[in-house]
Structure 1
Amino acid sequence: MIDVLVIGGGNAALCAALMAREAGASVLLLEAAPREWRGGNSQHTRNLRCMHDAPQDVLLDAYPEEEFWQDLLKVTGGNTDEKLARLTIRASSTCRPWMRRHGVRFQPSLAGTLHLSRTNAFFMGGGKALVNAYYRSAENLGVRIRYDAPVDRLELRDGRFVAAFVGGERIEARACVLAAGGFESNREWLREAWGRNERGEWPADNFLIRGTRFNQGTLLKFMMGQGADIIGDPSQSHCVAIDARAPLYDGGICTRVDAVSLGVMVNREGLRFYDEGEDFWPKRYAIWGRLVALQPGQVGYCIIDSQAVGRFMPPVFPGVRADSLPELARALQLPEDAFMKTLTDYNAACRVGSFDHTVLDDCHTEGLTPVKSHWARPIDTPPFLGYALKPGITFTYLGLKTNEQAAVHFGGVPSDNLFVAGEMMAGNVLGKGYTAGVGMSIGTAFGRIAGTEAARAALKGEVHAAAA
């Protein structure tokens, strides 16, 4: 019999498989995707948010525990389990040597991501290189890997794992780690979570999926039906405003448009709807998907002028270009009068001091609702650019409640051989909001814990079985 069964194929699953194998357990990993699409959403990542008290190779200065915690507290609005959040934060300070041993390499932050050079360690080659390194290491260590192996149900007995089913095939194991992601690719479940808005629209019908098409939430729904303890709001997710021309699935980071804080955002009625300069982009970029989802037609338009060009990571798709603002409104098919009033009022409200996009500068608006708190400069220097944006779901936050041992709970009681990691439990730490790289911090921390605990449970059970 297998000691540890890992269900999933992304960062958290791989960390669990590697840790369990290093602890001496036999491990089988089941990845729902075919080999060429392996890695879940982790293949689209590029960095890990790391606590550190002094400069470390690619990380500048210091990013102490309390600052990390305060950043997380701010973006979640306090909707987080402090004990599990701090566990994640502390684990982020010690995981990189282990990651290197398994082939992950790091590099300094790229141009256009300098805000993250103190807080986030970037993977050389991005997330695809990271998951490839982990798969190579797992294979070298003797982890068995099966692709095209979606698990649709489990056999449970009194809160304990017994077996998993891939179609009609039953696979037994002494312990199991669930790391199969959220339900972001399940359109019906997204519809159910978001419902209809006051305009009678199904917002979810206009969502794009930044990540993998294989995260249908099948096991999450199964576990909910089996009475597992659940945490999180099904409508909350890592949701980013991405280019409306992005593909339905697997667009990843390159579909983002990072110019929002340098200009204004308007809806299809030509009206602004939120403070574009509230905080640094890495801390606020993930609120914009939800904000756009609440707008008519689930679409927003980022408007900048030539002053902003070169100050943000160039997007894959070129912006709509015009030599005047009225021409831009027509090109974007926005109501020209409303658009021009919005831009005229905004330009007049700007109080420009010392513009500096690397700090929370003193360029702001006065007498304007919503305010723009920082980086407010008149949009008056042609050419002008506009980007139509739609909500892009990366992963959902509804998940399984867990503890410091990464155990799945039933009626408040932790299972002694069923564990959870990654997006299936991220809602314990992320009740809402997001800050760059923290998803990988959660997946790495709880993947390693889940793998260690699963191996301990399996090997303990093996000893008892032998004694019997």
Structure 2
Amino acid sequence: MIWDVIVVGGGNAALCSALMAREAGATVLLLESSPKAWRGGNSQHTRNLRCMHDAPQDVLVDAYPEEEYWQDLLKVTGGQTNEELARLVIRESSTCRDWMRKHGVRFQPPLSGTLHVARTNAFFMGGGKALVNAYYRSAENLGVDILYDSPVDDLEIKDGLFVAAKVGDKRYEGHSVVLACGGFESNIDWMREAWGQNQFGEYPADNFLIRGTRYNMGSVLRVMMREGADTMGDQTQAHCVAIDARAPLYDGGICTRLDCVSLGVVVNKEAKRFYDEGEDFWPKRYALWGRLVALQRGQTAYVVIDSKAIGRFMPPVFEGVIADTLPELAHKLDLDVETFMQTINDFNAACQPGTFDHNIQDDCFTKDLTPAKTHWARPINQGPFYGYALKPGITFTYFGLQTDKQASVFFGGKASPNMFAAGEINAGNVLGKGYTAGVGMSIGTAFGRIAGTQAAKAAARIKALQTKQQGVAHAVA
């Protein structure tokens, strides 16, 4: 059988592509590398979608206009973003939710602990796992063919034209393809190669934890690189979060995140601070801290808070190290007590009087301290004290395939007529670095829907051309 559209991948972007292509009348085969129980890639660990809106909408309050969304994205990426594609994603985020509901996705108002994103993010009822399951049910009902345990390890491509996908000795032929198979974060050898050795003689990737799926090995991306596809991005840039050092190697998900950084101080193994903990709201900065920790010796850091911070952030899954005094805490964290106390005392002395409010960028800051803490700076002085060891948690990589607003894949600057990409494999076009909560799902949803639509159109064109050629050949005969 020759399918109209083959979708490689099984997460949000892949499912959006498959559904859109099927709605357009195409026959669709979805190849998911994982077993059925682990289907959905990193999308199963998500919670919400960042949405543009000009007025209150169902679960979203107030307004979050295009320009504010764009400025938020511009700020976290430091300008390393394609504005045309970024604005496309932003606009698509304002119109996708009705379509999502049609396929069984339900939304809920944000709960306690997430109210600060009630204006910007729409939360999935039941989280990402429920979203993924809803899409799979809809895909099955619409007649999408789905194969699990089917990691694509090669592609047949002729002059930039997709011919077939290969899974071991099995070959699946299609008129078009959507590559929505994630990044390469689960491939520790590739991560080790990309990050190399640091100034401490370490290979940082050896200490990375993978927040999401173990199945994103980057095999298809490697194939596309071999075939000469145009790529973009830095192989070391990723959605990289400072997570609990006790998290599992794979699939720790969102519950391993520690959200108290902005309410305390973070020190490295030398017991010294190395960045502004209060630079911005945590949803706009949490993905920065993983990379910051990755650059420290041992890829380890420690967030320290006092009792004043308790109840002001999402409680972690694992209890932290608790001590009645700061020297005792330093000892329990295996930090040099003298250096640790100097760091904390210098910080406490630099804190300026202000009105603390963790819901806004308040006027509590440090003076004459490097690095500064620009908001939410309060002395660490009320016991008991809490410490949490941090490690870098990689969610997905940003290096991937260059695409355009049709989600087309390119070879030597020329768009393939029937190859498209969506999700993490093309997210770097919008995210050169940094992250802001929910934008990954916005990118995957926008480009997934576009890629599915374009793949169905490409398949129809190719079939029409083949029919015409067959007709000519028959007439000549």
Superposition TM-score, scaled by structure 1 size: 0.99
Q: Distance in 1 between matches of 2:16 and 2:353?
A: 48
The letter of the residue matching 2:182 is: G
Map 1:365-376 to 2 at 5 A: 365-376=366-377
SS at match of 1:419: strand
**1:284 Cα deviation (Å)?**
0.5
Match in the other structure for 2:106: 105
Partner deviation per Cα, 1:273-329 (whole Å, 9 max, x = no partner): 000000000000100000000111100100001100000001101111000000000
**1:211 Cα deviation (Å)?**
0.6
**1:110 Cα deviation (Å)?**
1.9
Match in the other structure for 2:115: 114
Q: Does 1:35 align with 2:36?
A: yes
SS at match of 1:364: coil
Q: Distance in 1 between matches of 2:455 and 2:324?
A: 61
Q: Distance in 1 between matches of 2:109 and 2:370?
A: 39
Q: Does 1:222 align with 2:233?
A: no
Q: Distance in 1 between matches of 2:137 and 2:31?
A: 15
Q: Distance in 2 between matches of 1:419 and 1:274?
A: 39
Q: Does 1:10 align with 2:11?
A: yes
Match in the other structure for 1:19: 20
Match in the other structure for 2:265: 264
Match in the other structure for 2:197: 196
Map 1:13-412 to 2 at 5 A: 13-412=14-413
**1:459 Cα deviation (Å)?**
1.5
Match in the other structure for 1:466: 467
Match in the other structure for 2:473: none
SS at match of 2:70: helix
Map 1:416-427 to 2 at 5 A: 416-427=417-428
Partner deviation per Cα, 1:238-288 (whole Å, 9 max, x = no partner): 000000000000001000000000000000110000000000000001000
Q: Distance in 2 between matches of 1:111 and 1:411?
A: 50
Q: Distance in 1 between matches of 2:96 and 2:188?
A: 35
Q: Distance in 1 between matches of 2:437 and 2:26?
A: 34
Contact 1:240/1:287 (<8 A) preserved: yes
Partner deviation per Cα, 1:408-445 (whole Å, 9 max, x = no partner): 00000000101000000000000000000000000000
**1:464 Cα deviation (Å)?**
2.4
The letter of the residue matching 1:229 is: D
Q: Distance in 1 between matches of 2:43 and 2:388?
A: 26
Over the matched positions of the two proteins, sequence identity in percent amounts to: 73
Q: Distance in 2 between matches of 1:159 and 1:465?
A: 17
**1:60 Cα deviation (Å)?**
0.7
**1:466 Cα deviation (Å)?**
2.5
> Runs ≥4 in structure 1, deviation > 2 angstroms?
463-468
**1:352 Cα deviation (Å)?**
2.6
**1:465 Cα deviation (Å)?**
2.2
Superposition TM-score, scaled by structure 2 size: 0.98
SS at match of 1:307: helix
The letter of the residue matching 2:104 is: G
Unaligned runs of 5+ in 1: none
Q: Distance in 2 between matches of 1:354 and 1:199?
A: 41
- Is 75-84 or 456-465 further displaced after alignment? 456-465
Q: Distance in 1 between matches of 2:184 and 2:464?
A: 37
Match in the other structure for 2:439: 438
**1:90 Cα deviation (Å)?**
0.3
Q: Distance in 2 between matches of 1:246 and 1:258?
A: 15
SS at match of 2:308: coil
Contact 1:210/1:249 (<8 A) preserved: yes
Q: Distance in 1 between matches of 2:180 and 2:353?
A: 48
**1:223 Cα deviation (Å)?**
0.3
**1:111 Cα deviation (Å)?**
1.1
Contact 1:352/1:376 (<8 A) preserved: no
Unaligned runs of 5+ in 2: 471-477
Q: Distance in 1 between matches of 2:269 and 2:402?
A: 39
SS at match of 2:205: helix
**1:115 Cα deviation (Å)?**
1.4
Match in the other structure for 2:474: none
The letter of the residue matching 1:106 is: F
Q: Distance in 1 between matches of 2:272 and 2:179?
A: 44
Partner deviation per Cα, 1:197-245 (whole Å, 9 max, x = no partner): 1111101100000010000000001101110000000000000000000
The letter of the residue matching 2:60 is: L
The letter of the residue matching 1:82 is: E
Contact 1:239/1:286 (<8 A) preserved: yes
Partner deviation per Cα, 1:374-396 (whole Å, 9 max, x = no partner): 00001111110000000000000
Q: Distance in 2 between matches of 1:464 and 1:366?
A: 70
The letter of the residue matching 2:84 is: K
**1:460 Cα deviation (Å)?**
1.9
Match in the other structure for 1:455: 456
- Is 454-463 or 25-34 further displaced after alignment? 454-463
SS at match of 1:316: coil
Partner deviation per Cα, 1:332-359 (whole Å, 9 max, x = no partner): 1111000000001101110131100000
The letter of the residue matching 1:316 is: V
Partner deviation per Cα, 1:72-120 (whole Å, 9 max, x = no partner): 0000000000000000000000000000000000011121111110000
The letter of the residue matching 1:401 is: Q
SS at match of 1:257: coil
